[in-house]
Structure 1
Amino acid sequence: MERPLILITNDDGVSAPGIRALIAVMSEIGEVIVVAPDKPQSAMGHAITINNTLHLNKISKETDSITEYSCSGTPVDCVKIAVHEILKRKPDLCVSGINHGSNSSINVIYSGTMSAAVEAGIEGIQAIGFSLLDYDWDADFEQIKSYIKNITLEVLNKKLPEGVILNVNFPKLKEKEIKGIKICRQANAIWMEKFDKRKTPQGKDYYWLTGEFVNQDKGEDTDEWALANGFVSIVPVQFDLTAHHAIQNLTNRDWK
């Protein structure tokens, strides 16, 4: 049987330990094509490059089952250029990550990792974004590899509903085992943001964006609850941003 073709990308850069762990898992499942940013592109959201040129660099590897490229653009650029310039056929799956840090709740909006997965979904490709709640460059990905493999095989074997992408987050656990998997909704949470204002030696103002993550949602069916209680959270997301529940309300108004 032909092995599935799997496109891998991320937002932490092609050399990040997270994507190296993801490549190791996916190479057990199928033929792997890696197209990832040549430098960190975290929090790029769904940005694309339109005012600059894009560059690809093929990375030599010893195995025939893995082909790697670094790209000068954003995570979404990586998916676009992979689909339209590199791949000879549509991949069976696109996986993005493993992100160093959370992409749960509102973070999905800002995430380059998840935007790459969403872009694959727009292209009609089954897609999953994987994230681990550990920002350490040397984070331990070993405990989650079996979960990643099982989730991937489930998607390949049974497919996702049309227009749906999976946002998968893993809790950071050291001396405990993961309790299991929860299918969740996105928690209602926000960032309470502020800017740290400083001055250059020349006296010019500059700013660092800082903030505190505030979970306003007390529900036990959310990704934040699952992660806080030792579960893997899986949230089905979509690229149709229509607020369907509001259509009837707005239709009944007098817009004159």
Structure 2
Amino acid sequence: MSKERPLILVCNDDGITAPGIRTLISEMNQLGEVVVVAPDSPQSGMGHAITINATLRCDPFRFDDGPQVEYAASGTPVDCVKLAVNVILPRKPDLLVSGVNHGSNSSINVIYSGTMSAAMEGSLESIPSIGFSLCDFDWDADFEAARPYIRKIASEVLANGIPQGTCLNVNIPKNTKDGYAGVKVCRQARANWEEEFDERKDPRERKYYWLTGKFVNYDHGVDTDEWALENNFISIVPVTSDFTAHHAISTLNSLNLE
């Protein structure tokens, strides 16, 4: 591989044949040497899961005539990143991009997302990393309007980097004929899922459950990812692996814990 062009690792959680990752691959081919390591089947909602009690397979894969090198792995998105960094790539990549996810990963969705966990794993390896998501769950979603923004954001990160230990969570509104209002760097909105389990019975009368629910935004700030998306802006939230609630440390230190 060329030492002059950036080395870009591409992964996702929807599977290596998903239209979203094919869009991402074609855009990254314009920016550098691309290696794809992605799940061989859908892995949505896997979060930061890794495979520890089963074998992993990672085989060469060919889907189209693009110049990229591709591998399909049997594990999770995070497994894919670990395999790429430790086994497949000749050196640490200059950029990791994950997605483009079919569906939003804004607000609290980030903690469930395999797409964003792949990006987070990249940041743990000190690789500038970006997770891209389109707010359209349709397999045949239209990614065309998002293409120039994906390429622009990735090229800016390649040129300027990202603060250490941080990755970017980029969410793109569903395509509209009028285009996008712009790009906003935001904070994560305070929102949650109000969940229900739909109880059903199989043909043998055994109970089973289907997770359902609705997404509720409790945050009315105009500086959040949810506000940006509702107003047709592409949102960018810097995300870190430090889960420490720094604001709670002083309160906990005031307790009699010994």
For Structure 1 versus Structure 2, the TM-score category normalised by the shorter chain is over 0.9
Q: Distance in 2 between matches of 1:30 and 1:190?
A: 38
2:181 match: 179
8 Å CA contact 1:38, 1:72 repeated in 2: yes
From the superposition, tell whether residues 191 and 64 of structure 1 become closer, same or farther in structure 2 (CA, over 3 Å): closer
By how many angstroms is 1:247 displaced? 1.6
How big is the alpha-carbon RMSD for the aligned residues of Structure 1 and Structure 2? 1.2
Question: Kindly, what percent of the aligned residue pairs are identical?
Answer: 62
Partner of 2:125: 123
Distance 1:216 1:62 in 2: 44
What is the rounded CA distance, in whole Å, between the counterparts of 2:64 and 2:216 in structure 1? 46
TM-score by length of 2: 0.97
Paired residues of 2:142 and 2:175 also in contact (CA < 8 A): no
For 1:231, the equivalent position in structure 2 comes to 233
Shift in Å at residue 108 of structure 1?
A: 0.2
Partner of 2:251: 249
Long gaps (5+) in structure 1: none
Q: What is the TM-score normalised by the length of structure 1?
A: 0.97
State how 1:150-161 maps to structure 2 within 5 Å. 150-161=152-163
Partner of 2:148: 146
Shift of the alpha carbon at 1:175? 2.2
Moved over 6 A (4+): none
One-letter code aligned to 2:246: H
Looking at structure 2, the residues matched to 65 and 20 of structure 1 have their Cα atoms a distance apart, in angstroms, of 12
Give the letter for the 1:205 counterpart. Answer: K
How far does the alpha carbon of each residue in 1:61-91 deviate from its partner, in whole angstroms, 9 at most, with x for none?
A: 6768410000000000000011001011000
> 2:192 aligns to what?
190
CA-to-aligned-CA distance 1:215-253 (integer Å, 9 cap, x gap):
000000000000000000000000111111222221232
8 Å CA contact retained: 2:39, 2:75: yes
1:58 corresponds in structure 2 to 60
Q: Which amino acid aligns with 1:11?
A: D
Q: Structure 1 CA distance, aligned partners of 2:245 and 2:204?
A: 48
Question: Given the alignment, which residue of 12, 33, 36 partners 2:35?
Answer: 33
Asked whether the equivalents of residues 146 and 175 of structure 2 are also in contact (C-alpha less than 8 Å), the reply is: no
Match of 2:83 among 65, 81, 84: 81
Task: Report the Cα distance in structure 2 between the residues aligned to 1:155 and 1:187, rounded to whole angstroms.
Answer: 24
Q: Distance in 2 between matches of 1:115 and 1:248?
A: 30
- Which of the numbers 191, 203, 206 marks the counterpart of 1:204? 206
Task: Give the total of aligned pairs.
Answer: 256
Further displaced range: 128-137 or 58-67: 58-67
The answer to which of 175-184 and 6-15 deviates more is 175-184
Corresponding letter in the other structure for 2:11: T
